[in-house]
Amino acid sequence: MRMYDLIIKKRDGGAHTPEEIKYIVEGYTKGDIPDYQMSAWLMTVYYKGMNNEETVELTKAMAASGDMLDLSAIEGVKVDKHSTGGVGDKTTFIVAPILASLGVPMAKMSGRGLGHTGGTIDKLESIEGFNVSIPTGEFIDNVNNIKLSLVGQTGNLAPADKKIYALRDVTATVDSLPLIASSIMSKKLAAGADVIVLDVKCGTGAFMKTPEEAKTLARTMVDIGNMAGRKTYGVITDMNEPLGCKVGNALEVEEAVEVLSIKDIDKALSEASDVNYGIRRLIKVSLCLASYMLMGAGVTSSYDEAYAMCKKAIESGNALDKMAQFVEAQGGNKEYIYDTNLLPKAKHIVPVYMEKEGYLTSCKNSEVGMVSLILGGGRATKESEIDLAVGVNVRKHLGEFVSKDEVFAYIHANSDDIIEEAKKRLLGAYIVSDEPCQIEEVVKFVVE
Ligand code: URA
């Protein structure tokens, strides 16, 4: 087999056989296929696409290029969730303890943040003592004992994807649907879960800008998961503004604990409640994801029943206790869960007001993420140190009216010379109009 012939085949619209895909992935990972040929091939895929079978084979080959986590020592159906990334997305800290408190095992690998989106692993490190790199044996034991463990991704998970992604990044071939879908799913398949629930974000803070694009990506990823023998669901959710109110590492842990501490979810979700609208959006996404995970695990086939169980896990305090147990099992101080005042706090908490009153009609969400990043809460490069205490707390959300004398947001900063720039960028991210706009549903649809 020659790479030259395979480039011609794809260039002319042909479909690759499984052997050909394997040859390309293995050859490139080993260094036998040079960057210039791989770049040419990626560009042919960008233009000619791939059919479902090719995409599944590409995913499987990339998954098999490194460690494939063996979770067979864990009893029960193992569930996992993956978010395609967004601003203020702390659903893992709500969903994981809900599932574990209901007896469903969750053995999760997560990443660190890069760019305007935060990383689950960084957020957990705002809890004193929490260890994100426990040995595999302990990881498995913890899942068997308390049903939940969460660690950082090992260096050797889908190395082919790592190498191909770096090449895509510099050859303008990132935004190709089969390449994105196979990249995400290769890591999920290697991570070993039986059930995968994908939270596919759409909007100004997400990779996919429209619900239709997100739906097509979800459909492809769900098909890949199912064809690879994993029960997979895709939940398409809104990312046109931060999820919840708080953006920043410790702030997001604090907000997740706030949700896990709610005693009456229906009341919290009702229009009349004084629970912030942003938190209501967070509750809706979290409960939807958790319900599909419960259904995927085979606990029930009814969404309504699954939803009621997840709701009760929060209201009873069981999910909060599970979160504390999980923190303790990984060396963290569980008191941080019962008293979030212990979490790292910024020196300055500065209120921000809108310059004109009106309805919030649009938000450039990636800019809100950038505000957290310039305050020190995110990484500009992989090596950057991050400040766990800083971030933004947005009190008003799209569709709401904001007057000039009510606090629109708080900036949490540790250095006062960045505050003015952060304020300016935050205000610049929003459009305020005289006319109200339609409020978007936060959960759009589910692909099964
Ligand atoms: N996230 C990934 O892991 N891969 C992509 O290609 C895009 C987003």
User: What pLDDT was estimated at residue 271?
Assistant: 85
Ligand 1: residue of 109, 162, 164, 184 to mutate (most ligand atoms within 8 A of CB) is 184
- Report the alpha-carbon distance of residue 96 to residue 143 in Å, rounded: 11
The pLDDT of 219-224, averaged and rounded, is 96
Q: pLDDT at residue 277 above 90?
A: yes
- Report the alpha-carbon distance of residue 235 to residue 198 in Å, rounded: 6
Q: Read off the pLDDT band of 119 (50, 70, 90).
A: confident
Ligand 1 atom at shortest distance from the alpha carbon of 183: 4
Residues flanking ligand 1, CB < 6 Å: 165, 174, 179-180, 183-184, 207
442 CA to centre of ligand 1 in angstroms: 22
- Catalytic positions are 82, 161, 168, 183, 187
The pLDDT of 385-414, averaged and rounded, is 96
- Report the alpha-carbon distance of residue 388 to residue 121 in Å, rounded: 11
Q: pLDDT at residue 114 above 70?
A: no
Lowest mean pLDDT among 254-263, 287-296, 303-312, 366-375: 366-375
User: What pLDDT was estimated at residue 85?
Assistant: 81
User: What pLDDT was estimated at residue 95?
Assistant: 98
Q: pLDDT at residue 379 above 80?
A: no
Looking at per-residue pLDDT, the higher value among 438 and 45 belongs to 45
Lowest mean pLDDT among 59-68, 104-113, 133-142, 173-182: 104-113
181 close to 221: Cβ distance less than 8 angstroms: yes
- Report the alpha-carbon distance of residue 204 to residue 118 in Å, rounded: 16
User: What pLDDT was estimated at residue 384?
Assistant: 74
Among protein residues, the one whose CA lies closest to atom 2 of ligand 1: 184
428 CA to centre of ligand 1 in angstroms: 28
Q: Read off the pLDDT band of 98 (50, 70, 90).
A: very high
Q: pLDDT at residue 367 above 90?
A: yes
119 CA to centre of ligand 1 in angstroms: 14
- Report the alpha-carbon distance of residue 185 to residue 160 in Å, rounded: 13
Q: pLDDT at residue 188 above 90?
A: yes
283-333 confidence digits (pLDDT tens)? 999 999 999 999 999 999 999 999 999 999 999 999 999 999 999 999 999
Amino acid at 382: K
138-180 confidence digits (pLDDT tens)? 999 999 999 999 998 877 889 999 899 889 988 999 889 999 9
Lowest mean pLDDT among 200-209, 261-270, 377-386: 377-386
Fill in the DSSP letter of residue 49: -
User: What pLDDT was estimated at residue 156?
Assistant: 87
Q: pLDDT at residue 205 above 90?
A: no
Among protein residues, the one whose CA lies closest to atom 7 of ligand 1: 180
User: What pLDDT was estimated at residue 382?
Assistant: 67
DSSP string, 345-386: --SEEEEE--SS-EEEEEE-HHHHHHHHIIIIIS-SSTT---
Among protein residues, the one whose CA lies closest to atom 1 of ligand 1: 184
Q: At what angle do helices 177-190 and 159-170 cross, to 10 degrees?
A: 160
Ligand 1: residue of 171, 183, 202, 224 to mutate (most ligand atoms within 8 A of CB) is 183
Pairing of strands 358-363, 430-433: antiparallel
Ligand 1 atom at shortest distance from the alpha carbon of 184: 3
Q: pLDDT at residue 192 above 80?
A: yes
**31 burial via Cβ count (<10 Å: 0-12, 13-18, 19+):** exposed
Q: Which of 255, 259, 244 is nearest to 317 (CA)?
A: 259
Looking at per-residue pLDDT, the higher value among 118 and 88 belongs to 88
Ligand 1 atom at shortest distance from the alpha carbon of 174: 6
Helix or strand (DSSP H, E) at 431: strand 430-433
Starting at the edge strand found earlier in the chain, the sheet holding 358-363 runs 401-402, 358-363, 430-433
Average pLDDT over the chain reads: 94
Under 8 Å CB-to-CB from 60, ≥6 apart: which residues? 186, 189, 228
Ligand 1 atom at shortest distance from the alpha carbon of 168: 6
Q: pLDDT at residue 378 above 90?
A: no
